[in-house]
Amino acid sequence: MRTFDAPVADPAVEMGRAIAAATGAPTRVDAAARAVSGIIRVMRADRAAVLRCIDTGGFVPVAGLPATAVIGPREPFAGRWVLEQRTAAAFPAAEGWAPAAFAAETRAAWVALAPLGGTEIAAAFRCTNVPFYRGELERLEALAMAVAPALGAGPAARPWAPGRRAACRRGRSRSEQPDRQPAPERAAASTTRAQSSISGMTRYSSFVCWL
């Protein structure tokens, strides 16, 4: 049984309100904040965020999470798969989907991610063990696509350029090279957990959750 504490309107109405709020924002900062609020409502999530892949291959929060909730270029993160594949994914927050400190900050039991423009990601987090189902994931993907220009994250404004793609890939591949890490054993273990998380994410992006 799926239960939620806060009542929400019809999903189509919530989607329209979320898009109108974000696209009508006076600044990109406001647009990002409104997009996060819209994601929470549309996805019936406990928390949400917009994350950006920076030139080093790491990720920083644009809205929804504290500025300290960053992901290093050598740390595992399932969002890299989402950006590379240009597709949304939902999965249980098993160990290794993100660095431990970042995962603890989200307090997520279930995670849904969707590409938002060229280098950003829209993220929804549920703190209870209530899976996201396919329709919800499709809404997140559609919402992210609609609000991307308002955040300056549209393909024309912030393309997923080869250099940025290479940087994000380097961020993952470096974690797979233990000889570059100060603690090879920890690096190898982190890589194994990340690969396991991405494998699970791939399954859920295909089946998501049929309830």
Does pLDDT of 62 surpass 70? yes
Q: Taking residues 123-129, report their average pLDDT.
A: 96
Q: From the centroid of its chain, how far is CA 134?
A: 16
**Greater pLDDT, 31 or 196:** 31
Band of residue 10 on the pLDDT scale cut at 50, 70, 90? confident
pTM of this structure: 0.74
List pLDDT tens digits, range 17-32.
999 999 999 999 999 9
Contact 62, 32 (CB under 8 A): yes
The Cα–Cα gap between 44 and 163 comes to 35
Share of the chain above pLDDT 90, in %: 65
Does pLDDT of 157 surpass 80? no
Share of the chain above pLDDT 70, in %: 68
Beta carbons within 10 angstroms of residue 180's beta carbon: 12
pLDDT computed for residue 40 by the predictor: 96
**Greater pLDDT, 87 or 189:** 87
Domains and CATH numbers, the chain: 11-207 (3.30.450.40)
List pLDDT tens digits, range 32-49.
999 999 999 999 999 999
Torsion of CA 84, 87, 88, 94, to 10 degrees: -40
Residue 178 parent element (H or E) = none
Tokens standing for residue 110: 């279930």
Does pLDDT of 181 surpass 50? no
Which residues are 52's β-sheet partners? Answer: 60, 120
